[in-house]
Structure 1
């Protein structure tokens, strides 16, 4: 991706969310319009996304259909080691998103497709084909203990070996990691919040990448319907 994508996207995204942040309509999360995709190629198996023609010319902050999943490395405290988003290439498909756990509205809806896909992977015995990577951009609050509690509350299985919750070492490093995937966030000082848990404004990004390391789907705007995301997971497996 172009090196200036995050800077361009951050200015656009956060300029659009500032007013809503102050009016308290986001509860710490913002629904950001997406533009989209560069187009299908031989590296992907899912069909072209909707609105492909309009999206293909846009300069976007996140990787899109047919592009390589970017590399980023961060500690995964539930596994007690660092994990790279590219280490699963050649082995597992990947689903990832960026969240903060004290978010009570949009973030649970961003995690839910990962949780449901993981549940299906266990039920249908393909758990070793996927890696699920929620990434926090709020590491000061999201301690290893908080990540464990949150994952269990959301219904994730922490014992099956495919739930890799990434926690960058600092707020600055978290911004670097999540910006890599077009998850753009801004901290809200406590005095400016309408509610205590409105600690961040951010856009919504969930990425599904295949085992060759190419993005099949980037869900933006609203968090994806878990059933839609699961259908894409199943289609990816069938065509792989």
Structure 2
């Protein structure tokens, strides 16, 4: 799928310029979608949004070594997915995984766990070894051996960047603790806990970099022998079994888990 160009980051925190709110729910939904359009139009975002096809991916599972692809879920399972790294400096990445885990627990309780897959992709695989990922999922209570869980680990940081920033349009920027910060004009874009009072139509937690950086991303990719600091888009994507994005939740920790679970249930039932 042809990806959109990234909008220029604006304002403190690198908030993405949005196309604006819809004047009301549109009369008809996107082709192939179960849910109607969201209240906020995110269609000019760089990442996949309502009605888009999910970008193709093929990434190894960190625990089984199995190569997991988007195609294996088509016609079989909906997906709830996110992107993370274990050395996340503000503690929000574990929250993203915890939100997926709460949805997973609901799926088990309500008997639809065979109809949904939960996918987390690390974008710092050179630091996020299998051992560190195991510690992370253990601390959250995720069972990565469950059939519907996939913690994916690209081969290296360059590949991770290509998948997460390139294919999914969710920019990431890592900084090595022992190196000077790369000055790309967005080094202060990290989302803080103070921003999580609720939805903010002008700040969806997106720490955007210019997509032109994708062509010269070596500057943003660093060896990660030590933990990293960085910025990225705190996002969860809900995808139906036909590979259509039903909801994107940028600044996902602004949303309640209950809201995401309700959307997931509706998609699975639809």
Q: Does 1:136 align with 2:107?
A: no
1:96-116, Cα deviation, whole Å (9 max, x unpaired): 111101214221222222111
In 1, are the aligned partners of 2:100 and 2:118 still within 8 Å (CA)? yes
Give the Cα separation in 2 of the matches to 1:212 and 1:178. 21
Shift of 1:160: 2.5
TM-score computed with the length of structure 1 as normaliser: 0.80
**Greater share of helix residues, 1 or 2?**
1
Check 1:170–1:156 CA distance in 2 against 1; reply closer, same or farther (3 A cut): same
Q: Does 1:229 align with 2:260?
A: yes
Give the secondary structure class of the aligned counterpart of 2:72: coil
Shift of 1:198: 5.3
In 1, are the aligned partners of 2:38 and 2:50 still within 8 Å (CA)? yes
TM-score computed with the length of structure 2 as normaliser: 0.72
1:77-112, Cα deviation, whole Å (9 max, x unpaired): 222211112321110000111110121422122222
Alignment of 1:1-16 (within 5 A): 1-3=1-3, 5=5, 8=6, 12-13=8-9
Give the Cα separation in 1 of the matches to 2:121 and 2:141. 16
Question: Structure 1 unaligned runs (5+)?
Answer: 21-30
Question: Structure 2 unaligned runs (5+)?
Answer: 182-187, 189-225
Shift of 1:64: 0.9
Q: What's the Cα RMSD here?
A: 2.6
Alignment of 1:159-178 (within 5 A): 159-178=145-164
Q: Does 1:62 align with 2:62?
A: no
Look up the match of 1:121. Answer: 107
Look up the match of 1:28. Answer: none
Q: 1:108 aligns with which of 94, 111, 131?
A: 94
Look up the match of 2:173. Answer: 186
Moved more, 117-126 or 39-48: 39-48
Give the Cα separation in 2 of the matches to 1:192 and 1:43. 47
